[in-house]
Amino acid sequence: MAKYLFGLWLLFYAGLLSANQDSDFIAARKAFQAGNAKLLAIHAERLQNHALAPYVHYYQLRLHLTTASPETIRRFLSQYRNSLMAERLREDWLKILAKNQQWALFAEEYPLLVNQHTELLCYAFQQRHHTGQKGALHEARQLWFNAHSLPNSCTPLFDILLTNGLITAEDIWTRIRMALEVGQTGVAKHVSRYLSGSQTLETAKLDAAVRDPRRYLEEQHNQIRTRSDREIALFAILRLLQNDTNQAFAHWYQIQAQFTAIDQSYLLGRFAYRAALRHDSRALDWFTDAASTNPSYPLTDTLLAWKARAALRAGNWGMVLESIENMSDSEQQIDTWRYWKARILKEQGKILDANAILIPLSHEHDFYGQLAREALGTMLSAPEKSYQVSAREIASIQQTPGIQRSLAFHRLNLRTEASREWAWTIRGFGDTQLLAAAEVAHRYGMYDRAINTANRTLSQHNFNLRFLAPHRDTLKHILQQEELDEAWVYGLIRQESRFIADIKSSAGAMGLMQLMPATARWVAKQLGIYDYRESLAMEINTNLRLGTFYLKHVLTLFDNQTLLASAAYNAGPGRAKRWRDTHSSLEGAIYAETIPFNETRDYVKKVLNNTVHYAKVFKHDHSAPTLTQRLGIVAAK
């Protein structure tokens, strides 16, 4: 009895010590953020054996990094070699070295950095130029062609490129157009300062076009004389085009004769793109017109993708194939375009060529991998013996310092830090290590980490970890009431929240089923929950009740078509209806691929692919629908 009581006391004491140290870490973190080195040192003394002690050491060194000796910094980098803290400290140090033009030290440390982002890349090109490395400036030139604002470290680099004649006036106008196309008027104005004399962008006119593009075009349509006038007019047309194709085209019709053939080609391509997004039947004609000018403005991969999607909806297989073959090599290797190319080759009777694409694609476990398997006549079959990691493998991974740090952050509810540490730690893991790490995450309730980690395996898989099913007992009764497919609901929750019950999105979506506040209030009223308050939507049972009721509602609206209901759940019923074809029925896969919102298109494909996998994991009978059957045919409006 005494031994038992002593054991309980030890457990209590260990828990109390851990809680106290956790409080010390939070206090140390706040001291670091406040720049209070003295208070940080007090807490550091108490945290020497804590899993997050290396972070405290990082905080201490970071506060005086500008004055620390290279030997001190390198001692830290060596002590925490290959850790996220070492990466962050090296990154911070490299910025200091570059600003002080300590290029010799910079050259030694920069290759050891794992994530070489733009700010440091610009410094690295400066270092290579200052040390006389040939070819550095020619490589750096590609950084210029960016629509968005770049770090200050790039400005001296661009000055060098301009001085050496490696950025021309035409390059400057190209970047101005890139910036204006995505609405980055501040970037366009900044870049314009590199132009000389009367060639510069007229910022007063640009501001007028921003305020009222329609009025600007009405007042300026007979006064388009300079390069600045043309670029601002094109920008004004693009502003109108964001909301109204017909109004924009009417204004373009009035001024198009004042533009060169290549500028006309450029804008026609953008008309075609917007029309394709709106499922406007003029899209393909405008794409054709854009390509027929001489010279023509090259279509980007984004525009070619929407040309292919517009052609899919029109049933123009030849244009789909042409669009795919004009994409960059990397874009053509995306699963979407491999699948549709194979479908077209199959339609053309080129079965061997089609199968040469479909067979390797069928080994992938995503939406198009599943469709490829079905096209080959192979039903989804998760391996009968999913790889099971041993207790020893799990214990070994759990003791990995990076995993311990991530678990400590998770315990402290520092979710962002936990995710970063986890992602860093597993980046070089093999399949067995990944599955062991996924199991650790699962045991600690880090369901998002468990799923994302299990998703990374290449040859050894465990689909029970990829497709976790928490809260199944809670959900079972609710699903019976609503008569919903369990696999579909789990497929949707997996995509919505990765089963994190207390998550809240930046848009305000809440809980497991990511309910928007207005939707939750409406459903609560339908269910007679008269004492509803927003905090209830974060409770697991209430969230599932509200979410499944709304899911059943949209499913009924769309005649039990899970494809349309999934789109409606994400983007609203009105949009899901609007995305149907006006005149003809559509193959479900074409409807899904031509959803104009990137988020919803990706969401719908993932939800339905998840559904097929969950049906297998849940061992639903062999009559469970295939992905092709679930996609079905979408009737015309």
Rg (CA), the chain: 29
CB 628 within 8 A of CB 620: no
- Which of 311, 307, 139 has the alpha carbon at shortest distance from 298? 307
Angstrom distance (rounded) from CA 379 to CA 27 = 55
How far, CA to CA in Å, does 365 sit from each of 386, 499, 582? 14, 20, 33
Angstrom distance (rounded) from CA 25 to CA 47 = 7
- Read off the tokens for 569: 């759940």
How many other β-carbons are positioned within 10 Å of the β-carbon of residue 470?
A: 18
Q: In 80-202, which residue ranges form alpha helices assigned H by DSSP? A: 84-99, 103-109, 118-130, 136-140, 154-163, 169-181, 185-192
Sequence letter at residue 364: E
Angstrom distance (rounded) from CA 317 to CA 338 = 14
3-state secondary structure of 298: coil
The answer for residues whose C-beta is within 8 angstroms of residue 324's C-beta and 6 or more apart is 304, 308, 332, 337, 340, 341
| CA within 13 Å, CB half, 251 | 24
Please report which helix (H) or strand (E) contains residue 259, including its range.
Answer: none
How far, CA to CA in Å, does 314 sit from each of 350, 451, 506, 581? 22, 38, 37, 10
Largest CA distance in the chain: 98
* Residues forming the active site: 496
End-to-end CA distance of the chain: 76
Residue holding tokens 């670029």?
231
- Read off the tokens for 376: 């080959």
Residue holding tokens 């600690």?
444
10 Å CB burial of residue 296 (0-12, 13-18, 19+) is: middle
The answer for residues whose C-beta is within 8 angstroms of residue 407's C-beta and 6 or more apart is 51, 398, 418, 440, 444, 446
